[in-house]
Amino acid sequence: MSRNVAIIGIGMTRFGELWDKRYRDLITEAGADAIKDAGVEGEDIQGLYIGSMSPGLFAGQEHIGALVADYSGLSGIPATRVEAACASGGLALREAYLTIKSGAMDIVVAGGVEKMTDVTTSSAMIALMGAGDQEWEAFKGVTFPSLYALMARRHMAEYGTTIEQISQVAVKSHNNASLNPYAQFPFKVTLEQVMNSPLIADPLRLLHCSPITDGAAAVVLASEEVAKRLVDDPIWIIGSSMATDTIALHDRKSLSRIDSTIIASKKAYKDAKIKPEDIDFAEVHDCFSIAEILAIEGLGFCKPGEGGKITEEGETEIDGRIPINPSGGLKGKGHPVGATGIAQAVEAVLQLRGKAGRRQVKDAEIGLIHNLGGSGATTVINILKRD
Amino acid sequence: MSKGLPLHWRLIPQRYNLIGTECLRCGEKFFPPRQLCPNCRRAGKIREVKFSGEGEIYSYTIIHTPPEGFEFMRPYAMGIIKLIEGPLVTAQLVDCKPEDLEIGKRVESVFRKVIADGSSGIIRYGYKFRLKD
C-alpha cells in the first residue's frame, strides 16, 4: 500500500427530475464526460466501481456492474456495484482508490448513479427505508426524516440547538446551490420559508429535507505514475476511511453524535497527516439539515454541540472560516443517493482546480468529502489535495 | 411486494411480549434481541429474557408523511423509549396528544395492531407505548 492515487477526470449530469433519461443514460453520460476530462480512451480503463443504493427497487434493475460496462462500451473489464445505502458513491470511490493503491490496476473509473423518479414517492420511501432496520424500525412506521428528527430532538435537548440554527443550514445550502448550474434547486430560500414549510417529522420540515433526485457522477482515478504522465492538475487522495455503527438508531451509544463519522475522520486525518484545521472546505452529507450539524461536529470543525452556533454565525458559508457544502449540498444540489458520494468528489475537484466559478472557495488546497449511509451506520471520508 | 407469513410468525414472541435476550457473561440485555453478544461474541452466553415494558421517552417525533400502510394514522408519534432494563427501543406513542410528549416522561408498553398487509392480507400486531402518568 504505497502508491499515491489521484483523480484525473470528472463528469456529472445535471441533478433533478430527469424524466427523459434512463438509469443507463445517466451513468454513461457522466462516465463519458469523466473519461473525456481525463484525456484517456475507453481501452485505458481497467475497472469500474459503481455506487448505487437500490436500483432494484427504484428501477427494477440489478446486475449493475455488467450493465454499466455494457452500455459504456467497456464489456470485458471487471465492473463491480458497491452498496452502502446513501454512502454507496463514497464507498465506490474508496474501493477504486484501494484497487489502485494495492497495485492491482492503474486506471479505474468510480461512478455513482440513482434513478429515483420512475417510482411513486411512496415506493421511493420504501426503498430508502431499506437503509434502516426493516424489522425494528420500518415495521413500526418509521421514516428516514423521522430518524433524523429523533436525533434533532436529542441535540436540541442536550445542547440547546435551536430550530433557527437548523434552518440556517438549509438557507446556506440553497444560497450555494443558486450558484451551481448542476443543482436541482438553483435558487435561494429565506429562513422564514424554511421555518414555515410543511412539517414532515416534527421538528423537521420539508425544507430541512434533501429531495428525491435523478443523477449520476463519475471520476477517473489513476496511479501516480500514470496521473503525472496524463494530466497537469492531478488531485491527490491523501486520506480515505470508512467506519460502521449499528444499523438501528436505537442501538447507538448516543443520538446526538454520529460515532461512525468520528471514527472515520480520526483515521482519515491520521492517514493524511493533517488536522481538521488544515481542511479548507468540506462537502458533507446533509440529507437533513440536522445531519450537517452532526457532521461538522463529528469532523472536528467545532466542538460537540456548537454546530448550530457556527452555522448561525456564518462560519460555514463560502467565505467563512470553514466553508461547508459550497455545491449546495444534498439539500440544494439534490441527492440521487448512489451518486451523491461521487458528486461530492466532483465538487471537491472543481474547487481544488480553482474551476468552481461563482461558488469558488478562495485558495482551496485541501478538501474533505463526507458521505453517510442510513442514520449513520456507515461513514466514508476521502480527503483530496491539489499539487 | 407481498410478504410471506413466516416473516411475521417467527418474531411473534418478541413483538407480542417484548421477549429479548441477555448475555450471562457480561450481563448486557438486548431488545431488540441479539443472538450474538456484541461485547463477548463467541464467548458470550445468550438466553431469552422478558422485558417489563416500563420506561421513559428518550426522544420523539410526530410523523406527518407516513410510509405506505400507515396513512390512516397520520399524524402519529414515534418515540425512542429507554426501557428500565437499559435498552432503547423504537415504537409508536399512542393515546396522547403531541403536546403531552416530553423527553423523560414515563411510559408503558401496550399491545396494538401495527399494520395490515393490504385489505386481505394478515394483520400484524406488536408493542406500542403510552404515557403512564
pLDDT tens-digit series, residues A319-338: 999 999 999 999 999 999 99
Check if B125 contacts A (Cβ < 8 Å). Answer: no
Check if B107 contacts A (Cβ < 8 Å). Answer: no
Mean pLDDT of chain A: 97
Nearest-angstrom CA–CA distance, A127 and B78: 20
Interface test with A, best of B71, B88, B90 (most A CBs within 10 A): B90
**What is the arithmetic mean of pLDDT over A191-215?**
98
Q: What is the pLDDT of residue B2?
A: 64
Residue of B nearest to A203 (CA): B61
Tens-digit pLDDT profile for residues A257-276: 999 999 999 999 999 999 99
Work out how many CB contacts closer than 8 A connect A with B: 97
CB contact under 8 A, A251 and B114: no
Q: What is the pLDDT of residue B120?
A: 83
Residues 6+ apart with CB under 8 A from A142: A129, A132, B63, B78, B90
Check if B94 contacts A (Cβ < 8 Å). Answer: no
Looking up cell 446551490 gives A177
Spell out where chain B has E strands. Answer: 19-23, 29-30, 46-50, 54-63, 76-83, 88-94, 106-116, 123-131
Question: Among all residues of A, which ones are annotated catalytic?
Answer: 86, 335
Residue A42 has pLDDT above 60, yes or no: yes
Q: What is the pLDDT of residue B119?
A: 82
Tens-digit pLDDT profile for residues A333-358: 999 999 999 999 999 999 999 999 99
Residue B99 identity (one-letter amino acid): E
Pick B78's closest partner by Cβ from A146, A154, A251: A146
Tens-digit pLDDT profile for residues A6-22: 999 999 999 999 999 99
Residue B78 identity (one-letter amino acid): M
The candidate with the shortest Cα–Cα distance to A282, out of A313, A239, A312, is A239
Residue of A nearest to B18 (CA): A136
Pick B90's closest partner by Cβ from A136, A154, A204: A136
Q: What is the pLDDT of residue B3?
A: 72
The candidate with the shortest Cα–Cα distance to A261, out of A222, A223, A304, A205, is A304
Nearest-angstrom CA–CA distance, A31 and A41: 12
The candidate with the shortest Cα–Cα distance to A290, out of A311, A319, A320, A321, is A311
Pick B78's closest partner by Cβ from A141, A154, A199: A141
Residues 6+ apart with CB under 8 A from B41: none
Tens-digit pLDDT profile for residues A119-159: 999 999 999 999 999 999 999 999 999 999 999 999 999 99
Residue of A nearest to B61 (CA): A202
Q: Which residues of A touch B70 (CB under 8 A)?
A: 141
Residue B54: other Cβ atoms inside 10 A: 15
Interface test with B, best of A250, A256, A257 (most B CBs within 10 A): A250
The candidate with the shortest Cα–Cα distance to A204, out of A289, A128, A95, A284, is A289
Q: Which residues of B touch A139 (CB under 8 A)?
A: 114-115, 124, 126
Q: Which stretches of chain A sit within 8 Å of chain B by CB?
A: 122-123, 125-126, 129, 133, 135-143, 145-146, 149-151, 153-154, 157, 198-204, 248-251, 255
Residue A239: other Cβ atoms inside 10 A: 22
Helix/strand/coil for A223: strand
> Torsions phi, psi of A307, nearest 5?
-60, -40
Q: What is the pLDDT of residue A68?
A: 98
Q: HSE-up of A182 (CA within 13 Å, CB side)? A: 26
Beta bridge pairs of residue A154: none
User: Which ranges in chain B belong to alpha helices (H)?
Assistant: 6-9, 12-17
Residue of A nearest to B11 (CA): A135
CB contact under 8 A, A198 and B64: yes
Tens-digit pLDDT string for chain B (133 aa): 567 788 889 999 999 999 999 999 999 999 999 999 999 999 999 999 999 999 999 999 999 999 999 999 999 999 999 999 999 999 999 999 999 999 999 999 999 999 988 888 889 999 999 999 8
The candidate with the shortest Cα–Cα distance to A263, out of A345, A340, A372, is A372
CB contact under 8 A, A145 and B65: yes
Q: What is the pLDDT of residue A266?
A: 98
Q: What percent of chain A has pLDDT over 70?
A: 99
Residue A1 has pLDDT above 70, yes or no: no
The candidate with the shortest Cα–Cα distance to B130, out of B84, B97, B99, is B97
User: Is B3 or A35 the better-scoring residue by pLDDT?
Assistant: A35
Q: Which residues of B touch A136 (CB under 8 A)?
A: 32, 89-90
Residue A129 identity (one-letter amino acid): M
Q: What is the pLDDT of residue B40?
A: 98
